[in-house]
Amino acid sequence: MLEPEAVTAIVRLGQSGWGAKRIAKTLGIARNTVRHYLRAGGPVPYQQPQRSGVLTGHEAWLREQFLTHKGNCDVVRQLLAKEHGIATSLRTVERACRPYRQELEASRRATIRFETAPGEQMQIDFGQVRIQIGGELVRVYLFVATLGYSRRGFVCPFRHERQSAWFGGIEAAFEHFGGRVQTLLIDNAKALVVEHDMQTRQVRFNSRFEAFCRHWDVRVKACAPFRARTKGKTENGVGYVKKNAIAGYTFESWAALEAHLTRWQREVADTRIHGTTGMAPKERFDGERPHLRPVAGIVPFLQVRELIRRVNAEGCVELDTNAYSVPWRLIGEMVTVAVRAGTVTVHYAGQEVAHHAELAGSRGRQIDRAHLLGVVPPLSEPVPPHGGALLRPLAEYEELVGGGW
């Protein structure tokens, strides 16, 4: 290719009436080159010659495999050799797949807004922030809950992010909204999720969290790992609380922080015009309130204990050193023991098998004789009397120990 100045000179001389032969001789350039630029009327971009490569004709297959394996060109290279018998370098595959990287990145970032019905879903999350409280910089854990339909939020501070804080925050949110939803959407916090397989999307929840959800009769759904934007309503809510309710504030005490958040929710968060719905969350909540299920009469979960116990050889389960009977046929089986409001209830395979009043002391026994039917004789059967006479004469015992009294 010629320099831009030479191309400009060729075009200018051609416009002046010079012929290609004269221009070529004057500038020392090949005649065909001069004709080429005269026909083009200026600079011509370089076009790389199209050469047939080893991957020519496999573009559709390469794109499919590249997107399927999330941009892993080494896997594509191995499949190329296995399925098509084409052995080539990793760099060659990367060059061939370069046009598909933008498509892959776009698919990763693409998000479809998912709207839920009134009373269907509540998203929950924690956020950390450092706040000046009583003259000291304190790490505060903010529990934030957002109703999926109305976008009405709830926030309360905690000093930690342990499981009890999650439970307390959820129950406080139910109390604040005056009802409970059908489904909780959570992230993969260790206090709630034991394992979440990214490939199969199988989730194993913490057993105590499962008991909490059964207690409140709510379903739970965990968003995909490393994809928190699927829970974006609460993610945005956490950021909103940090930037609007907390930023620039200091507090004299923890109680002052709680009072400030309560006032902020009532006067600011509930009354602002939401950017997505175009309505104030408080107004939109009027249409969601009737769809929330009641919470009256349900005691807090922390007042309910649910444990797994194995029935011992005596047909009892032990709880706080006390023993409570169950049907003897369950000896050796694992049962669920629930303690609430002074009663102990035992379930097996989803069915209640025993019900007792909770013992106040320790090392006590609460036995229902109906649980022992078929093992011990009924009280109506007479017990053979003991004769009072020794089964052997004393002389035999004296001879055995060697001596007399």
* pLDDT score of 369 more than 60: yes
* pLDDT score of 108 more than 80: no
Please list, in sequence order, all residues whose beta carbon lies within 8 angstroms of the beta carbon of residue 217, skipping any fewer than 6 positions away.
180, 293
How confident is the model at residue 6, as a pLDDT?
87
Say which residue, 49 or 140, is predicted with more confidence: 140
pLDDT band at 214 (very low <50, low <70, confident <90, very high): very high
Reported as a single tens digit per residue, the pLDDT across 335-367 is 999 888 778 999 998 899 999 998 877 788 999
CB atoms < 10 A from the CB of 398, how many? 12
pLDDT band at 57 (very low <50, low <70, confident <90, very high): confident
- Are 258 and 137 in contact by the 8 Å Cβ rule? The answer is no
Structure tokens at 48: 């790389």
**What range does the domain containing 34 cover?**
4-40
Q: Please tell me the number of Cα atoms within 13 Å of 67 on its side-chain side.
A: 14
Reported as a single tens digit per residue, the pLDDT across 237-284 is 788 899 889 988 999 999 999 999 999 999 999 999 988 888 999 999
The pLDDT of 282-295, averaged and rounded, is 94
82 plus 228 within the same structural domain = no
92 plus 188 within the same structural domain = no
* pLDDT score of 231 more than 60: no
- Are 242 and 142 in contact by the 8 Å Cβ rule? The answer is yes
Q: For residue 144, list its beta bridge partners.
A: 125, 155
| Residue 320 forms part of a structural domain | yes
261 plus 158 within the same structural domain = yes
How confident is the model at residue 4, as a pLDDT?
81
- Are 196 and 225 in contact by the 8 Å Cβ rule? The answer is yes
| Residue 54 forms part of a structural domain | no
Best CA proximity match to 358, nearest among 397, 308, 321 = 321
How confident is the model at residue 232, as a pLDDT?
46
How confident is the model at residue 79, as a pLDDT?
92
| Residue 349 forms part of a structural domain | yes
Point out the least confidently predicted range of 156-165, 171-180, 297-306, 316-325. Answer: 297-306
How many domains does the chain divide into? 4
pLDDT band at 305 (very low <50, low <70, confident <90, very high): confident
- Are 44 and 17 in contact by the 8 Å Cβ rule? The answer is no
Average pLDDT, the chain: 85
How confident is the model at residue 238, as a pLDDT?
86
Beta strand ranges found along 148-285 (DSSP E): 153-158, 183-186, 193-196, 203-205, 219-222, 250-251
How confident is the model at residue 89, as a pLDDT?
92
In the block, residue with structure tokens 């129950």: 171
In the block, residue with structure tokens 């929710």: 265
CATH code, 278: 3.30.420.10
| Residue 197 forms part of a structural domain | yes
| Residue 211 forms part of a structural domain | yes
Say which residue, 235 or 80, is predicted with more confidence: 80
Reported as a single tens digit per residue, the pLDDT across 61-77 is 999 899 888 889 999 99
* pLDDT score of 186 more than 70: yes
Sign of the C-alpha dihedral, residues 324, 326, 330, 335?
negative
| Residue 25 forms part of a structural domain | yes
247 plus 187 within the same structural domain = yes
Please list, in sequence order, all residues whose beta carbon lies within 8 angstroms of the beta carbon of residue 186, skipping any fewer than 6 positions away.
123, 124, 125, 192, 193, 220, 221, 222, 223, 231
127 plus 249 within the same structural domain = yes
144 plus 227 within the same structural domain = yes
134 plus 283 within the same structural domain = yes
How confident is the model at residue 325, as a pLDDT?
96
Which region holds residue 82: left if phi is over 0, alpha if psi is between -120 and 50, else beta?
alpha
The Cα 370–Cα 337 span in angstroms is: 19
Best CA proximity match to 119, nearest among 170, 166, 176, 177 = 177
176 plus 310 within the same structural domain = no
146 plus 270 within the same structural domain = yes
| Residue 204 forms part of a structural domain | yes
| Residue 258 forms part of a structural domain | yes
How confident is the model at residue 399, as a pLDDT?
62
285 plus 308 within the same structural domain = no
pLDDT band at 320 (very low <50, low <70, confident <90, very high): confident
208 plus 309 within the same structural domain = no
State whether residue 332 is helix, strand or coil: coil
How confident is the model at residue 405, as a pLDDT?
45
Point out the least confidently predicted range of 196-205, 218-227, 229-238, 288-297. Answer: 229-238
Reported as a single tens digit per residue, the pLDDT across 18-40 is 999 999 899 888 999 999 888 88
Last residue within a domain, chosen from 226, 260, 291: 291
* pLDDT score of 228 more than 70: no
* pLDDT score of 198 more than 80: no
pLDDT band at 386 (very low <50, low <70, confident <90, very high): low
* pLDDT score of 202 more than 70: yes
CB atoms < 10 A from the CB of 199, how many? 5
How confident is the model at residue 330, as a pLDDT?
95
230 plus 324 within the same structural domain = no
State whether residue 7 is helix, strand or coil: helix
* pLDDT score of 304 more than 80: no
